[in-house]
Amino acid sequence: GDSVTQMEGPVTLSEEAFLTINCTYTATGYPSLFWYVQYPGEGLQLLLKATKADDKGSNKGFEATYRKETTSFHLEKGSVQVSDSAVYFCALSLTFRTNAGKSTFGDGTTLTVKP
Amino acid sequence: DGGITQSPKYLFRKEGQNVTLSCEQNLNHDAMYWYRQDPGQGLRLIYYSQIVNDFQKGDIAEGYSVSREKKESFPLTVTSAQKNPTAFYLCATRGYMNTEAFFGQGTRLTVV
């Protein structure tokens, strides 16, 4: 079945450090790939997405590139801020025809940024 | 405002009780999903529905039930058969023209 594996946490960084959270996937067909962010006590919010190979998703200084050859979608940010502290989920989804539009999520990576 | 409303935000259940979590959306999305989130873990799919009056079991449906009588609403009942119901429950929707899911703010259920 479809699966997403992401880097185990927690990750602790100092402000302005470089961030990488690794994510790899297995899927039948051609999935869309996502990074969601969750702040304490809240639901998930879409951070960025890519819908086909070699696409780069970007938002709020975060970036991730859809690499079909390595089945990866690593999240990066050049300079993290304290406000980036949250849990980050890598996810994939297929078409409604393929699997009812269900999403498959990684286990989440907790990021803490210290001043 | 367009969005997904989950209520209540916090819910306490006594042993042996059934409780119902509400999920309402005004995004006009056809598909709706319920996920369970436990500390330090990812999201696990409980039930999903693509159209009114139809729904399917997800990966962990035992001890839960749902209904989809209206497009806007997809309530989840946690029954007494669910032995470990304490968790954070998330409702999500997806439109056929979207690739991503949209999430509500969640309901935290605690057994007391």
Give pLDDT, residue B83. Answer: 87
Give pLDDT, residue B40. Answer: 77
* Residue written as token pair 């119902």: B20
CA atoms within 13 A on the CB side of B55: 25
Q: Do A96 and B96 touch (CB under 8 A)?
A: yes
Quote the Cα angle for B82-A40-B99, to 5°. 80
Name the nearest CA neighbour of A108 among B73, B109, B43, B98.
B43
Q: Dihedrals φ, ψ of A20, to 5°? A: -135, 130
Tokens of A27: 């899927």
CA atoms within 13 A on the CB side of A62: 21
Q: Do B31 and A45 touch (CB under 8 A)?
A: no
Contacts of B33 in chain A (CB under 8 A): 102-103
- Residue B2's pLDDT band (boundaries 50, 70, 90)? low
Taking the Cβ of residue A66 and every Cβ of chain B, the question of whether any pair is shorter than 8 Å is answered with no
Name the nearest CA neighbour of B103 among A66, A38, A79, A1.
A38
Name the nearest CA neighbour of A37 among A101, A92, A113, A110.
A110
More confident residue, A62 or B96: A62
Quick: pLDDT tens for A60-77: 999 999 999 999 999 999
Contacts of B48 in chain A (CB under 8 A): 100, 102
